[in-house]
Amino acid sequence: MIIRILIIALLFGLNLNMPIEKVYAGQLIPDEEINITVYERINPAIVSIDAELDDGVSAGTGCIVSSDGLILTGSHVIEGCNSVEVTMFNGQVYKAEIISKMGKNKDLALLKISPKHPLQTIKFGDSGKIKVGQKVLAIGNPFGFSGTLTQGIISRIDKTKGRIQTDAAINPGCSGGPLLNSSGEVIGINQSIYNPDNNISNIGIGFAIPINDAKQFIQLAKVSKK
């Protein structure tokens, strides 16, 4: 504890004679400020998705990629569904149309809603520049808890399979959500977790599809629609 206080004092120029309770009261460290800024900026562009199936509901997350209501998510979230509902961060609900989807390998899909006003959108990053060890943030709706933020690092980059491995918590309901860098740019679309209990819970091995693959998918979908 003493060492930690000394480090904080050196970083922030704190008075070492200040009582311990004063050191922490009301102060945010730079890493916390980054997390808060990214979350507050990006969360309005993240939605929860409920796809109605014959035997229940498939829940996931989506990213708004255009102000007129184009939403990127995972294709397995809406696979075999009868209808799709999208819930905005403010609780507003829309019926969504499936525009395009890929197979399980890439696991991406595009939905479209018709909002009354322009929507806030995500900002694309460049997954070709990511590094193992860099900090990442994930926003999703695990087990129905909407707007949940988690953090971790990039644990591995599998270029052969086209996957980003991360230890940021990605639980059921987070599929289709964004994997973000510290600048708030989306560098991946969260897809799945791996663990011994049939993917019931997260143990620190999650996977995301590189955002550069998603950008190509979106572009091809727009071209094919013309």
Catalytic: 76?
yes
Catalytic: 117?
no
* Closest residue by Cα to residue 111 from 76, 62, 50, 146: 62
Contacts within 8 Å (CB) and 24+ apart, 89-96: 89/43, 89/44, 89/46, 89/47, 89/146, 89/147, 90/44, 94/69, 96/49, 96/71
Q: Give me the catalytic one of 75, 127, 175, 192.
A: 175
Q: Give me the catalytic one of 50, 58, 75, 76.
A: 76
Q: Give me the catalytic one of 107, 127, 167, 213.
A: 107
The rounded Cα 135 to chain-centroid distance in angstroms is 13
- Could you list the active site residues? 76, 107, 175
